Amino acid sequence: MSDRIEYDLLLVGGSPSNLALANRFLELAKESGKEFTMAILEKGKEFGSHVMSGAVSNPHVIAKLFPDYKESGFPIEATCTDSYFSVLGVNKKWDVPSKMYPKSLDKTGYVVLSLSNVVAWMAFKLQEKAKDVPNVTIDLFNGFAAHKVVFEDGKVVGVAVSEDAKSEEDFVYGKVTCFGDKGFISREVIDHYKLRDNPQIWSVGVKEVWQVNEDYAGKVWHTLGYPLLDGTFGGGFVYGMKDKRLTIGMVISLDSKDPNMNPQQKLQDYKKHPFIQEMIKGGKLLKYGAALLPEGGYYSLPKKFYVPGAILLGDALGVLDVKNLAGIDRSMECGYVAAKVLHDALVKGDTSEAALAPYQKELESGFVIKEAYKNRYFRWAFMSNPKLLGQYLPDIAKSVDKTNAWVGMLKVGFKNPFGAPVDGVTSLSLIEGTRDIGPIKYEADCKHIVPNFTAPKYDEPPYDKATIYSRPDAVFFASTKYHEGNEHIDEFNSDTCVKCISKYEGLGKTTPCVADCTAEVHRIDIIDDLRKHGMSLENCIHCRTCEIVCPEVNLRVKPTSQGSGPDFLGL
């Protein structure tokens, strides 16, 4: 083992957090003049090709990382000039007065981004900066996935880059390994060290980019209501980008009661709304994709952000702040903070747990964890009071169509004159973090499924059929390409799937993995007169929704090999 190749820093995932870490570390190494080695493993064929996000972000951490970002070509699509929070009925829209919604929803002055392009730019910038820092050797390995965490003597020492790792050539080692992924590989670290008492809960973001006829650059909408009027937590967003392009998407929590929720179809329903139809009329779909978002917040954070030989950053930690609709700046701040801690540790030749501990202390004393704590009950406010989204929101949405939202709010009060005001005060105190109820405990998302749940039906608004895409057609716009042999979804027990299919079909439904897949991967085959689970893996856009909603916990999505998968660049 003495001749094995080991880097000082091994970064798993070309994430915003890891690339922020690498860029900041390079600056610190330039100042110290010490020699270091660093490698970044990215499972996509290019940096950014597996990255998808909304995205509207506070640029404060970007400015800290790249003070000249406005002049140096940082890929900004627009700066938000008009920010709206709207409630959608089936046919009409109500823009909520700014005084009635949290300040965190006002994105004026924030930057509209394509996160895939941002990641690609950060990787390029890193290589350019490295030319002036000869004391640091940086190797970027795109198309190389980490398939397994390597533990030795109770410590993380690296990762396997081959599924069937059998020799030294199949491993990459690091004095410290940094995980910034959405759980594909970092969950092994969390499980091995039993870091998470409260499960992570997830939402899925489904998104399209359109070429349209009007210029909406700088206009930002976040919406509640149609088509999520069944009690499911989530909403829509529309972001105007440069060159007459438009981001249209939905974020839908995977703790929905509906076993046949179908996120991709929900996005198509969202696009049928006259508000969206007016913008995309005569336009052209450019890209489609989907990705998970960690929603658990403060109480789903690991107990420790570091372990012997490794640290967790960004989505691996779960620092997304749902109330603030903010994840990018939080992830980048993780990388920024980690860079200094890791640089100091490596300079001293001490990468023990004690040397890594300041990473967590710094995050806890900064805005990332402080704001996560303040907003710790945001999701719980809606979980603990299902009437908010299951009753009150649909009533207000109906009134948006029939009269106006004010009448709807009055009706909510008249229908429940004692309960509604109390619900409002109680929920608001949780949303704003002004009341402490102690730690909360989540259940895994799939535990919330009600097999016989029937979603309410609504008359569809008129729409242009040319703007709506079936799930098989949408996959084309995710540009999926797979090398032969990428068997990247495990089905643990086929008999379990047979029983699940029988159960849901007996209720007139299909299984959650089939219904909620964002890319037409899961299917039901008839083999020897038996209905079995099958997969068209060549369609997979690697979102992991199937794994999260599987009621039998019978699926696991693994990293793909050789850069296979979707191409989200520009999404």
| In a shared domain, residues 487 and 339 | no
* Lookup: tokens for 488: 């990247």
| In a shared domain, residues 501 and 521 | yes
- How many domains does the chain fold into? 3
Convert the pLDDT of each residue in 30-42 to its tens digit. Answer: 999 999 999 999 9
234, 292, 298, 230: which is closest to 547 by C-alpha? 292
CATH code at position 551: 3.30.70.20
Note the pTM of the prediction, 2 decimals.
0.95
Judge whether 504 lies within some domain: yes
* In the predicted structure, residue 415 carries a pLDDT above the cut 60: no
Instruction: Report DSSP state, residue 324.
Output: T
Dihedral sign from CA coordinates of 561, 564, 566, 571: positive
Judge whether 97 lies within some domain: no
**Which residue range is the domain that position 510 belongs to?**
482-557
| In a shared domain, residues 410 and 547 | no
Integer Cα distance of 432 and 50 in angstroms: 34
Judge whether 120 lies within some domain: yes
Last residue within a domain, chosen from 351, 374, 397: 374
- CB 159 within 8 Å of CB 10: yes
| In a shared domain, residues 167 and 45 | yes
Integer Cα distance of 562 and 484 in angstroms: 10
- pLDDT band for 100, please (50, 70, 90 cuts): confident
| In a shared domain, residues 363 and 401 | no
The DSSP H or E segment spanning 48 is none
Q: Which residue has the higher pLDDT, 20 or 458?
A: 20
| In a shared domain, residues 192 and 331 | yes
Judge whether 87 lies within some domain: no
Convert the pLDDT of each residue in 194-242 to its tens digit. Answer: 999 999 999 999 999 999 999 999 999 999 999 999 999 999 999 999 9
| In a shared domain, residues 370 and 496 | no
Last residue within a domain, chosen from 321, 342, 374: 374
Convert the pLDDT of each residue in 334-382 to its tens digit. Answer: 999 999 999 999 999 999 999 999 999 999 999 999 999 999 999 999 9
pLDDT computed for residue 419 by the predictor:
52
Convert the pLDDT of each residue in 290-319 to its tens digit. Answer: 999 999 999 999 999 999 999 999 999 999
| In a shared domain, residues 386 and 518 | no
Judge whether 93 lies within some domain: no
CATH code at position 330: 3.50.50.60
| In a shared domain, residues 45 and 132 | yes
Last residue within a domain, chosen from 374, 389, 412: 374
